[in-house]
Structure formats: C-alpha cells, structure tokens
Structure 1
Amino acid sequence: MSFSYQGQTLHADSVGITDLMASYGSPLYVYSRSDIENNWREFDAAFGAHPHLICYAVKANSNIAVLNVLAKIGAGFDIVSIGELARVLAAGADASKCVFSGVAKTTQEIERGLEVGIRCFNVESAAELERIEQVAARLNVQAPISIRVNPNVDAKTHPYISTGLKGNKFGVDIDDAIDLYQQAHHSQYLNVQGLDCHIGSQLTDVTPLLDALDKVLELVVKLNNQGIAIAHLDLGGGVGIRYDNEDTIDINTYIDTIVKKVGNLEVILEPGRAIVGNAGVFITQVEFLKQNSDKSFAIVDGAMNDLLRPTLYGAYHQVLPVNENAQGLDAHWDLVGPICETGDFLAKDRKLSLTEGDYLAIMSAGAYGFGMSSNYNSRPRVAEVMVSDNQHHLIRKRETIQDLFNTETLIND
C-alpha cells in the first residue's frame, strides 16, 4: 500500500495527509493512483499469455477519475446500470470491454448497451433473456449474451454480499441453465458468448471459488455435447482484501489454478474491492471527546452517510492517527458521527491517544465508501482526491448546502 508513516505523519505516496487536509478540508476520501494501477496489473499479469479480460467492477468505486486511470492501462469494466455505462464511456473506456451484469436491466439499458457495442450481457433470469431477445429483434441486431448460473456454493461471507446460493436473487439455477442456453442458441437475435458465475464478495478462502469453477466447467462440457459452444468463462469477482490481519487469497496462485482447469477458454474476472479497497482512505477530524462511566466517545465530523459499511455490515476498518499524538488522552474509543442514529459509528473500542482536532484515517475505504454515501441528515457529500507520487488532484468537489436542494422545487400555491 502507498499509505505509510514518514516521520510521525501518515502519507499518501509522498504527500502528507495533513497537507491534503489543509488544501481540501475534512472529511475527505484519498486514493492512491499507483495502488489502483498496481492492483489491476497484478490480476492482468497473473494470466500471462492465456486469453483473459480483467473487468473492474464499477460499483466498488465509480469516480470518473478512477475509471479513467483504469481505462488508460487497458481495463475492461463490469457495469450494472446505464449510469455506470455512461460513466465508463465518459472516462474513455472501450465499450467492447464492458460486461453488463445486474438482475433488473431495463429496456432502455439493453438498447443502450447494444447501441454502443458492449462485450456481453450477463443474463440473470429467463424473463431477462426474453426481453433482451425482443429488444435485439426490434433493432435487428444480435445481442451477445452469457447466462449467470447460480451454483449454490456457500461463499461463507456476510449474507448481504453472498450471491451464489439458491436463496439469493442473482443468477439462474445451474440445473435450469441448459434449457435457457438452448433457447438462446436457437434464436437468431441472441449470440451465446459465455457462461457467467459470481458467488459473493470479500472472499478470503479460495475453496468456494474453485468449487464454483468445477461446477460451471461441468456445465460447459454438457453444453458442448449439445452443440452449444462457450467462448469465455466469466468467474466474477469476490477476492477479498485485508482490512485487519486476516489471511486473503493469493491472486497468482488462484489464477494459476484457473488457467490449469479451463483449457483454451478465455477467462473474464470482475474484481472491484481488490482493485480499489486498500487504495483509499477516509480522513475524519475529531470534534469532541466525551467520556462517561461506561464509554469513551470520539465524536468525529465523518458519519455513516459518508462511510456506511461499519453500520450496514458491522464492517471493521483499521483506524490510524494521521499524526502520532503522544500528548493525547489514552482510552478505548468509539468513533461516532453527527448523524441522529445510535448506529452512526465508524469504529468501536479502538485504543488511541486523542485530542480534539486530531485527524484520523479510516483505512481500506476505497471500495464501497463514497459510492454508498448519501445526503442523510442533509449532509453534503465529501470531496475526493487522488494522489500520484508527490502530486494530488481534486477528483470530486465537496458538495455545498445549495447542491442539496438544487433539483427540488417549492409548491407555488
């Protein structure tokens, strides 16, 4: 990671976080360009000469500057909405490197995907397959499709981000997939390209991923025996990152195993968190210190509307002082924000030495941080900055109060 202490001050690459706070204010998201690029390249390089495409999952962090950095180094993109498609195109991405996932594609989204020439639709249901066929027939084109199968593999992750079980809304039961492939194979407006599978997010054990791979490879053989050729295998994303001291998947070993199993099939992967998660931090400032007989609270200017993961998932993020403070008050602190909810916290029971005015870095916040933020309690969304070596760039302006209601109108009686 590019976030480390130089002297007693936390730096992003060669830029001191305190300098960034002086320039851009608090709270603030900070991303490392080199980390983003290096993380994507690790996936890409691991495949060597084997046919592959690394499609960054845009939902993890959709800032247009992040997308542009990835587009420049050759990334593909996994999108789930027409808005994400518009973002990647505006960022300079090649539409033919985009795969379109998601369970509720609208007619407008399908039309736009066909117009710009996306790589493939990942189909999630029989009804969606029928809709794509209808739109393609009206436009008199062939729609490239793969079908997302649900292998009923337990990813052993948080239930909100598990996607490969029969009880999840995603994909088609693997036992029902052959009938849908037959339907697509016989349609003049559908072009079967691949087979798709994604079982969940923040996986730290490779076993469920390989179990799912074995199941979909069995399906590929069955399809080939029925004359349905599969050109690529989309194995989704899900590779977890290190938030604390947990073990994670070794990317090179995982991809080497994939390559040995898939023969000549092209492989598409859709990493998101693994690209940007540890490439970003959220900086917040201590406003007040408050202690009672049971608890010590550090009340900060960041809140659940800025970084929702701790509240939504009970997610853990490491917390580091931006400046090591030997003169602060030592305690086990709950970091809580200004939102009028007891669930508004960024971290709990962290041993820190604090003084009012200190800056704190919430680590590993590059994925599902700003993207899940909101204006709850009428709070403007924060600024985002990207650092590259000793340079820093504002990549999203801080919202103003006026921005909060620019799209709203009064009723004029």
Structure 2
Amino acid sequence: MAPTPGISSSTLPPFFAYQDGQLMVEGVSLSTLAQQHGTPLFVYSRAAMLSALAAYQRGLAGRDHQICYAMKANSTLAILQTLVQAGCGLDIVSGGELERALAAGIDPAKVIFSGVGKTRREMRRALEVGIGCFNVESRAELDVLDEVAQGMGLRAPVSVRVNPNVDAKTHPYISTGLKDNKFGIAHEDVVATYRHAAACGGLRVVGIDCHIGSQITEADPYLDAMDRILDLVETIEAAGVPIAHIDFGGGLGIDYRGDTPPAADTLWQRLLQKLDARGFGDRKILIEPGRSLVGNAGVCLTEVIYLKPGEHKNFLIVDAAMNDLPRPAMYQAFHQIVPLSQRPGETTTWDVVGPVCESGDWLGRDRALNVQAGDWLAVLSAGAYCMSMASNYNTRGRAAELLVDGDAATLIRARETAEDQFRLETLLPTL
C-alpha cells in the first residue's frame, strides 16, 4: 500500500482539471458524462484541439503554408469538421478517408493523398473530385497514376515522398524515415524519379514530401531531414524540374509520460530560420500534424468492474479493452490513468486490464490507484490512434464519442450495438 499520489491539474493535459475532487473537461464533469452515456466513452475537448492547432498557426504566421491534419490519428466526422472549419486541410491515406474528408466539408483542393498502396479505384476517385496532391511513394505507383490520369484525360498533381534515412528516435513501429522502412523513395533515387515523373504525360510535379515518423520529441531529426530535403530540391531544380511546395510531414509528439516535445510554434521558428538561411523562405510549406492536434484533447472513460488481488499481481478489471485502446497492446504504449473522483487514503498497485480474452489486453501496468468496483477512471491522452484503430474483437461494440465545447457536450458518435456489427452479414439458407 502507498499513499495517494498527488494527481493535480498541473499533471493533466490542458483543459482537463480537478475541481472539488472531480475531474472536469472545460466546464463539464466527466463523472456526469459517464453516468449519462455509459462507458467505455471517448470525450474530446474542442478547445484543446483548437489550442493545439493555434500553435502551428502562430509558428507559420506570415508564410505561404497549408496545415493538413493527418486524419488517420482520429477520423471521426465532427473532429474533422472542427479542424476543417478552423482552416485545416486534410492528409488522407485511403479512399475511405477521402469520403470522410468530403463528408466533413473539405475543399478537395486542400486534400493530400499519402500512403504506399493507393489503388487505381482510389486514384480515379481522387482525380474526379480534384484533390490537391498525391504524395507518391514508389516508381511503380508513379507509373500507375500516370496511366490512370491519362486514361481520364487529366494530369495528376504529384509530390514524391522522400525517405531521407533520418532516425526519428521513436518506437520502431512508428518510425518511417529509415532505409529499412517501407515508406518513400530512397534518397539516392529521388532525382531520377523526378526526371521520370516530369516526363510522364499524366503527371504534374508540384512538390516534394518527407515524413520521418510519429511521436517525435526532439527537434534535431526535423532539422536533419530539412537539410536533406533542401539539398534534394536544389539538385532536382538544377535538373530542370521546379518544386512549388515543400511538405515536411508531421510526427510531433505529445506528453504521455513526462515527454517534452518542443512546442509547435517554437519548433517551426527553428525550422523557418533554417529555411530562410538556405534561401527557401518564399516556398509554400505543407505540414501534416496528427497526434499533436488531437492526442491530448481526448480521454477514454471506463468503469472498474472487478478488483482481483493476487500473490504476485493485482488486476483491476475495467470495461474498456484493447479493442477500444489498442496502443498499449500494439506499441507497449503508456497512457496515464486517473480517477474521475479523487478519494483520500492509501493506494494499491494494480495492472489495469480489460475483459478481452488476450493476455495482451492491458491498458496500464503497475498503477497506484485507490479504487473500488463501480468507480470510473479516465485513460488520458486518448484522442489519437485509439478510436480510429478501434475494432470489434470479441464482438465488442465501438464506444460512443462526445465533443465538449465549454459547458456543453454533444454526442458525435452513438454507441455501436451488436446489430450494427452484423448488419452486413448473411446467414446461410436453412436446409
């Protein structure tokens, strides 16, 4: 047993705070939301998202730029709508994401299409609606896109994604800029690829792209990648292929466990200084932030079902699981877990686990909590790569989602039922 740790508002993400022992988001009690809507339940702060976006907007103020939210982080329509209305473009990686982007009201010219495996069908649809750019990741993809565009009598706007072989110093599963990663075209092959693209009748070269990973907490990898990309731009343009925009990707991390990523505006001040010093200050800049816009804007609320003390481990069984919060199972990721109602007294060390029939179904290990069955907990920093990666494993319905704006909470996704899950399935005829 240990004394209750000091969970204070200073250790919580912005716009989340304890008031009179109750965890609040903006002006709303999370306990009230859990009681009204049930759990598991995702709750997002609109103010937190817009505040995170504002840091990028400050950092790029006065520059020709476009911020394209990487919607794979969280593609719920109301969240896309919130960011689009605040001026964001969108970075997509599938045809389904394109349809979500359109449903959220995006101007297609502010959509960029990334990803290593675009199909002909996806390419045709993106060309039909007039997206702003394809970030192309292989010579084979260039050739297929050229064929599709020429067949439609169009020229596809393209940017080649460069793999600069820069170590982002993050988890191997979310590192994308090393030679061993599947993404982008190798640094040494880029100039020849641009010459080839410029010669294709169905392509129109508009930019260059680079993305080195996710949950990056240091500025140096960005600075290294920028130097390599600018070196390439000089060489590509010397070969007669002009580059209108430079896309530096996203990947800036958030604070999960005392992480100290640079603030977005501070990071971009440093990057713009380098850009100016290299003589590229007049170029249009594209960036693709995802996690850093929504990660700390969301929490997942869960109810304690059972306390299961043991000789070597104490298990706290909750109603949220790896299908709701896949990051711990996938990446051994850390999320802070806190009670919605603070209770004085001593704590016990628990492994917080879900009800799914997998040993990997855990949300947090060795957490000091003073809880009882029926209490509610908040899994923090759950706005990114949780709901967008959620599944129906064990025929578990996906959670409901709420968006809080001031003292109002709006249901933006209803809780999924069993009938919703098997609606598209068909039973065999009865013999």
The normalised TM-score by structure 1 is 0.98
Q: Which residue of structure 1 aligns with residue 366 of structure 2?
A: 349
Q: Write the deviation string for residues 177-209 of structure 1: whole angstroms up to 9, x where unpaired.
A: 111100111223211000000000000011111
SS state of the match for residue 176, structure 1?
A: helix
Contact persistence 2:55–2:263 (CA under 8 A)? no
How far did 1:257 drift? 2.2
1:307 has 2:320 as partner? no
- What is the distance in 1 between the residues matched to 2:392 and 2:239? 52
Q: Which residue of structure 2 aligns with residue 335 of structure 1?
A: 352
- What one-letter code is carried by the residue in structure 1 that aligns with 2:401? E
What are the equivalent positions in structure 2 for 1:238-317 lying under 5 Å apart?
A: 238-260=251-273, 261=275, 262-317=280-335
1:123 has 2:140 as partner? no
What are the equivalent positions in structure 2 for 1:333-412 lying under 5 Å apart?
A: 333-412=350-429
Contact persistence 2:254–2:295 (CA under 8 A)? yes
Q: Which residue of structure 1 aligns with residue 7 of structure 2?
A: none
- What is the distance in 2 between the residues matched to 1:41 and 1:79? 21
Q: Which residue of structure 1 aligns with residue 341 of structure 2?
A: 323
- What is the distance in 2 between the residues matched to 1:401 and 1:291? 32
1:144 has 2:157 as partner? yes
Of 120-129 and 221-230, more deviation after overlay is shown by: 221-230
SS state of the match for residue 175, structure 1?
A: helix
Q: Write the deviation string for residues 349-389 of structure 1: whole angstroms up to 9, x where unpaired.
A: 01111111110000000000111110111111110000000
Q: Which residue of structure 2 aligns with residue 28 of structure 1?
A: 41
Contact persistence 1:196–1:234 (CA under 8 A)? yes
Contact persistence 2:249–2:288 (CA under 8 A)? yes
- What is the distance in 1 between the residues matched to 2:263 and 2:80? 25
CA RMSD of aligned residues (A): 1.0
Structure 2 alignment gaps of length 5 or more:
1-13
- What is the distance in 1 between the residues matched to 2:267 and 2:100? 30
Q: Which residue of structure 1 aligns with residue 210 of structure 2?
A: 197
Contact persistence 1:56–1:77 (CA under 8 A)? yes
1:82 has 2:95 as partner? yes
Q: Write the deviation string for residues 202-240 of structure 1: whole angstroms up to 9, x where unpaired.
A: 000111111011001000000111111101111111100
> Identity over the aligned pairs, expressed in percent?
49
- What one-letter code is carried by the residue in structure 2 that aligns with 1:3? F
Contact persistence 1:286–1:357 (CA under 8 A)? yes
The normalised TM-score by structure 2 is 0.94
Q: Write the deviation string for residues 116-143 of structure 1: whole angstroms up to 9, x where unpaired.
A: 1111000000000001100110011111
- What is the distance in 1 between the residues matched to 2:194 and 2:307? 61
- What is the distance in 2 between the residues matched to 1:389 and 1:373? 27
SS state of the match for residue 312, structure 1?
A: helix
- What one-letter code is carried by the residue in structure 2 that aligns with 1:273? R
Q: Write the deviation string for residues 296-325 of structure 1: whole angstroms up to 9, x where unpaired.
A: 111101100110001110000111110002
Matched residue pairs, number? 412
Q: Which residue of structure 1 aligns with residue 238 of structure 2?
A: 225
Q: Write the deviation string for residues 242-301 of structure 1: whole angstroms up to 9, x where unpaired.
A: 002121123222211222213211111100000000000011010011101111111101
Q: Write the deviation string for residues 8-66 of structure 1: whole angstroms up to 9, x where unpaired.
A: 10011100001101211011000001111111121122111111110000000000000
1:237 has 2:250 as partner? yes
Q: Write the deviation string for residues 84-131 of structure 1: whole angstroms up to 9, x where unpaired.
A: 111011011111111000000000111111111111000000000001
1:97 has 2:110 as partner? yes
How far did 1:156 drift? 1.2
SS state of the match for residue 121, structure 2?
A: helix
- What one-letter code is carried by the residue in structure 2 that aligns with 1:59? K
How far did 1:149 drift? 0.6
Contact persistence 1:50–1:259 (CA under 8 A)? no
